[in-house]
Structure 1
Amino acid sequence: MANKYLNFITDEHLLNCIENLHKSYLKAKANVSKKKFYKNKIDTIKLTFDSKFNDLDEETLIKTEINRQIDKSINNSIGTFHEQILGGISGYEIGNLSGFDIKASNDTLFADIKNKHNTMNSSSAESLFQKLAKYADTYKQANCYLVQILAKNSFNEKWFGEINGKEYSHSRVYKISGDQFYKLLSGQEDALFQLYSVLPKAITDYLKKQQNEKSHTNSALEEISTSSSQTKRTILNEITFENFSYYLGFDKLK
């Protein structure tokens, strides 16, 4: 029986990948309490600029920051989605925290996948190159890749250059864009475009089989508003006090 969506992975695998990402969305959108909102320190200096330069009232400002936190969490899950999709191609598998993201079952390919081209600093790039070179040295038939799903160009090239003042190169360590990597593993020129094209239909089909999704309300704003009304501080000052009252002078906030 022919596949409904793509011919390089099964329909079941595609829908499972969509389901896993959907769960990540639901988890990220689950109630953002004040405690969860404060988990990472809130940059209230930036929020002050945002409120003034973007003409945002305090409630809109906090809602925007909550959505930014949710979006950051979801962005991390998109890279995992690509790993899972690619790991479903015959002859390949995902790493499951083994030090690589994708490998060929016969150890002729190892890859580390980054969703965006600008997610590494120089120290991270140096460490990753060294890791890929080690795989290449250990597995003499293996080509090793840094994959950039969202790259500035379409390319498949040797990764060489100067990182932290040192010159790096290896005969079997490469950089490759997302479209070229999908092509490499699937054997199909436009495999990534095919995935993009079928996603709306596949997602719709998946959602039809789900129970009605409960809407999630975030309690952080309500909790902060309640405490700010009790202390007579503005919402922004309340957030600043609750995050930085131990900083010099910040205990004076009113």
Structure 2
Amino acid sequence: MTNKYLSYISDEHFLSCIENLHKSYTRAKANVSKKKFYSNKIDTIKLTFDASFNELDEVTLIKTEINRQIDKSINNSIGTFHEQILGGIKGFEVGNFSGFDIKASDNTLFADIKNKHNTMNSSSAESLFQKLATYADTYKKAECYWVQILAKNSFNEKWFGEINGKEYSHSRVNKISGDQFYKLLTGKDYALFELYTILPKAISDYLKNLKTEESENNSALEEIQTSSKESKRTILDEITFENYSYYLGFDKLE
């Protein structure tokens, strides 16, 4: 039976990956209360600049900041989506917090997947290289990869260089772009492009088959508006007061 969507994983698995990501979106958007919104301190100085330089009213400003927080959470889930897709290819599996993201069932490949090329600092890069080198040393036939789904170029090459003042190289530790890694695991040159082009249809089919639509309950803005009316502060002053009233002078906001 021919697959409807992708040639290298089953339709059932593909739709389950989309479903898992949709659930991540829903969780990220659901019930963004004031408490949750404040869980990471709000940079109200930056928001002051955003309001003036981007010509945003206070309500739009806070909605934008809420969406930024949601987006930050979802970015992590996009990497998981790629792991689940790749783990559905015959002969490969997902790590499930085992220290690697993807591996070959016969232990000839181990990979750590990053959604973007610039998500690691030098310490993280050093730690990742050492981890991949350990897999390569433990499994003598294994090729190990740092995968950059969104990379600056298309490449599949040995990873060597200077990290934190130390030179690192290993004959079987590599770095690879997303398109090349999809090609490597599927044997198809355009496997990632195939995913990109079919996504709109697959997502549309998935959404059509949803039995119920989860409702969002983002109460943060409403709660802040209510408390700002009670205190007679502007929305931005209310956020600043509630986040920094213990700072010198900030308790005087009116």
CA drift at 1:215: 3.7
Mapped to 2, the partners of 1:94 and 1:148 lie a distance apart of: 17
Mapped to 1, the partners of 2:184 and 2:112 lie a distance apart of: 14
Corresponding residue SS for 2:152: coil
Question: AA paired with 1:177?
Answer: S
Question: AA paired with 1:109?
Answer: L
| % identical aligned pairs | 82
Mapped to 1, the partners of 2:247 and 2:137 lie a distance apart of: 50
The aligned counterpart of 2:123 is 123
Q: Give CA-to-partner distance per residue, 1:220-240, whole Å, 9 cap, x none.
A: 111111111111111111101
Matches within 5 A, 1:17-36: 17-36=17-36
The aligned counterpart of 1:223 is 223
The answer (yes or no) to whether the contact 2:155–2:176 under 8 Å persists in 1 is yes
CA drift at 1:29: 1.3
CA drift at 1:217: 3.9
Question: AA paired with 2:127?
Answer: S
CA drift at 1:107: 0.5
The aligned counterpart of 1:95 is 95
Q: Give CA-to-partner distance per residue, 1:155-193, whole Å, 9 cap, x none.
A: 000000111111111100000000000000001111001
Question: AA paired with 1:59?
Answer: V
Matches within 5 A, 1:69-84: 69-84=69-84
Corresponding residue SS for 2:157: strand
Mapped to 1, the partners of 2:250 and 2:213 lie a distance apart of: 42
Question: AA paired with 2:216?
Answer: H
Mapped to 2, the partners of 1:211 and 1:236 lie a distance apart of: 40
The aligned counterpart of 2:245 is 245
Mapped to 1, the partners of 2:32 and 2:82 lie a distance apart of: 27
The aligned counterpart of 1:158 is 158
Matches within 5 A, 1:61-76: 61-76=61-76
CA drift at 1:211: 2.1
Question: AA paired with 1:187?
Answer: G
Question: AA paired with 1:39?
Answer: S
Number of aligned positions between the proteins: 254
Mapped to 1, the partners of 2:105 and 2:214 lie a distance apart of: 40
Mapped to 2, the partners of 1:223 and 1:198 lie a distance apart of: 41
CA drift at 1:104: 0.4
TM-score, normalization: structure 2? 0.98
CA drift at 1:253: 1.4
The aligned counterpart of 1:183 is 183
Q: Detail structure 1 runs of 4+ shifted over 6 Å in the superposition.
A: none
Which segments of 5 or more consecutive residues in structure 2 lack a partner in the other structure? none
Is residue 136 of structure 1 aligned with residue 136 of structure 2? yes
CA drift at 1:248: 1.9
Mapped to 2, the partners of 1:55 and 1:201 lie a distance apart of: 37
Mapped to 2, the partners of 1:156 and 1:90 lie a distance apart of: 21
Question: AA paired with 1:219?
Answer: S
The answer (yes or no) to whether the contact 2:29–2:70 under 8 Å persists in 1 is yes
Corresponding residue SS for 1:84: helix
Mapped to 1, the partners of 2:226 and 2:208 lie a distance apart of: 39
Corresponding residue SS for 2:126: helix
